[in-house]
Amino acid sequence: MKMRSFTPILIALAIALPCRAADDIPPPDKTAGVDLQSPEVIARGMEILNTTCGGYCHGTGGGGLKAPRLRNRTDLSPDSLHATISFGRKRGGKFMPPWKGTLSEQEIWTVIAAIVSLRTVEAIGEPGAQPAAH
């Protein structure tokens, strides 16, 4: 009986938690001067993502190949993305190389802008689908 009173709260949390709002986007003074919401930055980030990470690992437009897809991933925060891209990751026999030193700090944040923009992609089934407008 007491569970009934929690049901609306649980439903609200289930809906709200996966949806990260723009308020989790750090300002440019925390991202090496990169505006993660700028359409120009996002476009450049997609170019870098598609040429460095897309062909073999994450697929064109973050659709996923040998590595996890990056589309509709509301669980990826800008800070966790920065750590993973910078220092790499090894999990379950899969390895992502560190990009720090290969990509500049600004380029890493530019790629993060592109990945964050993929949180809501309309045409999921199409390779290279463009992120929804912000």
Question: For residue range 61-110, what is the model confidence (pLDDT) as tens digits?
Answer: 999 888 999 999 999 999 999 999 999 999 888 899 999 999 999 999 99
Q: Is residue 28 within 8 Å of 34, Cβ to Cβ?
A: yes
pLDDT above 80: residue 6: no
Angle, in degrees to the nearest 10, between helices 78-87 and 105-117:
130
* Length of the chain in terms of residues written: 134
Confidence of residue 56 (pLDDT cuts 50, 70, 90): confident
* Residue 121 three-state SS: strand
The arithmetic mean of pLDDT across residues 106-125, rounded, is 87
CATH 3.40.50.1000 fits 23-117, yes or no: no
Domain ranges of the chain: 23-117
Alpha carbon distance 104, 111 (integer Å):
11
Task: Report the pLDDT value the prediction gives residue 22, as an integer from 0 to 100.
Answer: 60
The arithmetic mean of pLDDT across residues 103-119, rounded, is 97
Q: Is residue 61 within 8 Å of 118, Cβ to Cβ?
A: yes
pLDDT above 70: residue 8: no
Task: Report the pLDDT value the prediction gives residue 120, as an integer from 0 to 100.
Answer: 87
Q: Is residue 79 within 8 Å of 68, Cβ to Cβ?
A: no
The arithmetic mean of pLDDT across residues 10-23, rounded, is 44
- pTM of the full predicted structure? 0.74
Task: Report the pLDDT value the prediction gives residue 91, as an integer from 0 to 100.
Answer: 85
Task: Report the pLDDT value the prediction gives residue 122, as an integer from 0 to 100.
Answer: 64
Strands (E), 1-134: 89-91, 94-96
Alpha carbon distance 11, 30 (integer Å):
33
